[in-house]
Amino acid sequence: MKKINIYILILGCLAILSCSKDKSNYDYSETEHIDIEGIESKYAVISLKDTLKISPTAKSNKDGELEYKWGFYETNVQGRAEPMDTIARSQNLRYFITEDAKDWVAVCIVKNKKTGYSQYKTATVTVSTQFTRGWYILKDDGTNSDLDLYLTPQNNLVNGKIENVYSTANNQKIEGKGNFISFSSSYKSNILNPSSYSNTRALFLTTEKDIQTVNVNNLKKIRDKQNLFLGGGQQITGNTGAFLGSTANYVLNNGQLYNIYAMSSNTGQFGNKAMIDGNNSNYELSKYMISSGSNDPILFDNLGGNFTTLGNGYGSTMTIFSNDAANDFNTANNNQKALFLGMKSNVYLAAPDYYYKTVGYAILQDKTDPTQKSLCALEKKQYVLSIKKEVIDPSSKLYNASLYTLLLDDENLMYFVNNNQLYSRNLSNGFEQLQFSAPGGEQVTFIKHLKYSESGYAFNFVVVGTKVGSNYKIRMFTKNSGNLDSNPVQTLEGAGTARAIIYIAPAVSDYTYPSTY
């Protein structure tokens, strides 16, 4: 491409072009205007696969020959325009896309050669790669993990599959059984420019033995357990997870919390583990979390029985939540162990509050008497946590459940697995109902409620992953008043044991999904 030495800052330069005239003696009694038709406001293309095709027509109210010029530019993270490339000087654009996955702007500039008058029209071009749209499945063979990618070129239904896409891109698998998958658009790396670190759309892949960040554009590994932490290589043990808070990226490893304050420059490496208090007391966080890109996390310390958070994502010491006056459980030293934490809703409160109220649920087990289990409604208002307890009756299906998920912002229901069957529980009245029984020979490996709202790709699924022999099946159900439809919308099948799922698209951001089980 030929670089032209102008900057499109809110297209100010084009406004100047539109006012330019030559010095010939023309009749300007009527203001000239050029109408440009045939350019849509938005286009979606796949890099290294699609050709952007636009065939406009233009007409001026003044005599003269019209000439065309096409530009292409990106907007940076502050929304400012970068230098424009001239990509064509023909009326019809045929431009093979090689750009990175993000939103770009195409601009058509039409000039009357006789009068010198110019007009322009722009379109947003959303560039994807084959890796930037589809269903990602984190799976393992019992020893090592990999990713399968199910392509969704037209809508959320699968049309194409790339098996073992991670090992194909990196020539190796990820050590350990799969555990958790999450996404961040604010993770810093220097993959685009070795001399500077900038926001990178990244997947966090965690297993029982490793944790990695992966570039969504090409699935190449950015960092792993050897260089993801400033203190050097770490041993990854057991329950691991990476998640987002309002201003930070977090990692849970071996019950310890690590963070990167994302609102300042950093190298994409996590610092020393956070302390739970000023005395640097021992703690052991549950793998479960309630968090999102717009609120600080709710975490639980199984060792001390404490609900805790790391406020605003920075600093080295966590904060144990304060009690609401009407709490059924203390937020600190409550002698409980967390069997589950999940998010139910996250709502912004306007004036005079100006913060997000987070509602979630926890299933807690008494450490002195493990037969006592409680379903607890949680409501976080800044650093105050309200806890309302409901004793779980041993006769209920929930009492011996093994996997859980909440319906985010939908019906007041929890789903859980008991004896390889999926049940719902009404959180208002405790009513439990069978929703799905795994066919003979299949074992449920995970459940998840997933919602996404992009036009043309929107979905609201309850996802059930099962294992049959050495293969997996993932069924995606829609629901009616909380009850699953009898047949799934689609079923994904592949080799290995499926542990987690996420839908990725160019529009997915830090605010698309909560970080929760």
pLDDT per position as a tens digit, 289-348 = 999 999 999 999 999 999 999 987 778 999 999 999 999 999 999 999 999 999 999 999
C-alpha angle 279-282-286 in degrees, rounded to nearest 5: 130
Note the pLDDT of residue 8. Answer: 38
Q: What percent of the chain has pLDDT above 90?
A: 81
pLDDT per position as a tens digit, 393-411 = 999 999 999 999 999 999 9
pLDDT at 111 over 70: yes
Note the pLDDT of residue 24. Answer: 46
What is the distance between the alpha carbons of residues 17 and 440, in angstroms, rounded to a whole number? Answer: 70
What is the distance between the alpha carbons of residues 430 and 437, in angstroms, rounded to a whole number? Answer: 20
Taking all residues of the chain, what is their mean pLDDT, rounded to a whole number?
91
How far, CA to CA in Å, does 412 sit from each of 166, 406, 409, 484, 499? 37, 8, 8, 14, 25
Q: What percent of the chain has pLDDT above 70?
A: 93
pLDDT at 78 over 50: no
Note the pLDDT of residue 15. Answer: 41
Looking up tokens 């799976």, which residue turns up?
139
Note the pLDDT of residue 46. Answer: 85
Q: Which residues contact 367 (CB under 8 A, 6 or more apart)?
A: 305, 335, 336, 337
**For range 37-49, the mean pLDDT:** 90
pLDDT at 16 over 90: no
Long-range contacts of residues 365-369, Cβ cutoff 8 Å, at least 24 apart: 365/336, 365/337, 365/338, 365/339, 366/335, 366/336, 366/337, 367/305, 367/335, 367/336, 367/337, 368/335
Q: Which residues contact 191 (CB under 8 A, 6 or more apart)?
A: 200, 215, 220, 222
C-alpha angle 470-471-476 in degrees, rounded to nearest 5: 150
Tokens of 226: 């050897």
Q: Which residues contact 69 (CB under 8 A, 6 or more apart)?
A: 86, 88, 89, 108, 109, 111
What is the distance between the alpha carbons of residues 207 and 225, in angstroms, rounded to a whole number? Answer: 11
**For range 358-370, the mean pLDDT:** 98
Tokens of 373: 């289990």
Phi-psi region of 489 (alpha: psi -120 to 50; beta: other; left: phi over 0): alpha
Least confident window among 233-237, 341-345, 356-360: 233-237
* Residue 76: band (very low, low, confident or very high) from pLDDT cuts 50, 70, 90: low
Full set of structural domains in the chain with CATH: 2-128 (2.60.40.10)
pLDDT per position as a tens digit, 156-179 = 999 999 999 999 999 999 999 999
pLDDT per position as a tens digit, 420-476 = 999 999 999 999 999 999 999 999 999 999 999 999 999 999 999 999 999 999 999
Note the pLDDT of residue 299. Answer: 97
Q: CB neighbours (10 Å) of residue 2?
A: 7
**For range 68-86, the mean pLDDT:** 75
Torsion, Cα 182 184 188 190, to 10 degrees, reads 80
Q: Which residues contact 171 (CB under 8 A, 6 or more apart)?
A: none
DSSP class per residue in 179-194:
EEEEEEEEEEE-SS-T
Note the pLDDT of residue 81. Answer: 57
Taken as a whole, the chain contains a residue count of 517
Does residue 194 have a cis peptide bond before it, meaning omega lies within 30 degrees of 0?
no
* Residue 77: band (very low, low, confident or very high) from pLDDT cuts 50, 70, 90: very low
Q: Say whether pTM exceeds 0.85.
A: no
Spatial contact of 254 and 282, defined as CB atoms under 8 Å apart? no
Reduced to 3 states (helix: H, G, I; strand: E, B; else coil), residue 262 is: coil
